[in-house]
Amino acid sequence: MAVRAVRGAVQLERDEAGHMDEQVGALLTAILERNELAADDLISIWFTATPDLHSDFPAAAARKLGIVDVPLICAQELDIEGAMPRVVRVLAHIESDRPRAGIAHVYLGAAAALRKDIAQ
């Protein structure tokens, strides 16, 4: 079993805790489903949020999904002029038999514009 990394992102419509939970939950669910993963396949997850998001920690959404024994960390994304606002990004480390090229990176909604080269 190899260690792989899965990327993803979602742009929020507004900075509200409930909306963040919903959107980050949808992103994590899509990452798990598209890569045929279970919570036991997760090693760790890094979350970043753009500086305009203050309502909650993105990791709280993972805990609400039942991802409770996986190390999670949140950090602030770089504040780059002209960058897409209200974005939560994910970098999940997983155990998987899939080859690196078989990993499905998930960019939902408008966030798909961030990585057209790998967005599924």
Distance (Å, rounded) from C-alpha 34 to C-alpha 64? 20
The per-residue pLDDT for range 55-91, each reduced to its tens digit, is 999 999 999 999 999 999 999 999 999 999 999 999 9
Average pLDDT over residues 32-54: 97
- pLDDT confidence of residue 119: 56
Average pLDDT over residues 114-120: 70
- pLDDT confidence of residue 7: 97
Q: Is residue 120 part of a domain?
A: no
Supply the range of the domain harboring residue 96: 2-115
Q: Is residue 65 part of a domain?
A: yes
Q: Is residue 100 part of a domain?
A: yes
- Whether residue 110 has pLDDT greater than 80: yes
pLDDT band (50, 70, 90) for residue 120 = low
Q: What is the pTM of this model?
A: 0.94
- Whether residue 21 has pLDDT greater than 90: yes
Distance (Å, rounded) from C-alpha 51 to C-alpha 33? 29
Average pLDDT over residues 3-24: 98
Average pLDDT over residues 36-43: 96
- pLDDT confidence of residue 71: 98
User: For the chain, how many structural domains are there in total?
Assistant: 1
Domain containing 33 — which CATH number? 3.30.1330.40
DSSP output for 49-80: E-TT--S--THHHHHHTT--SS-EEEEEPP--
Please, what is the Cα angle at 45 between 108 and 99, to 5 degrees?
75
Q: Is residue 7 part of a domain?
A: yes
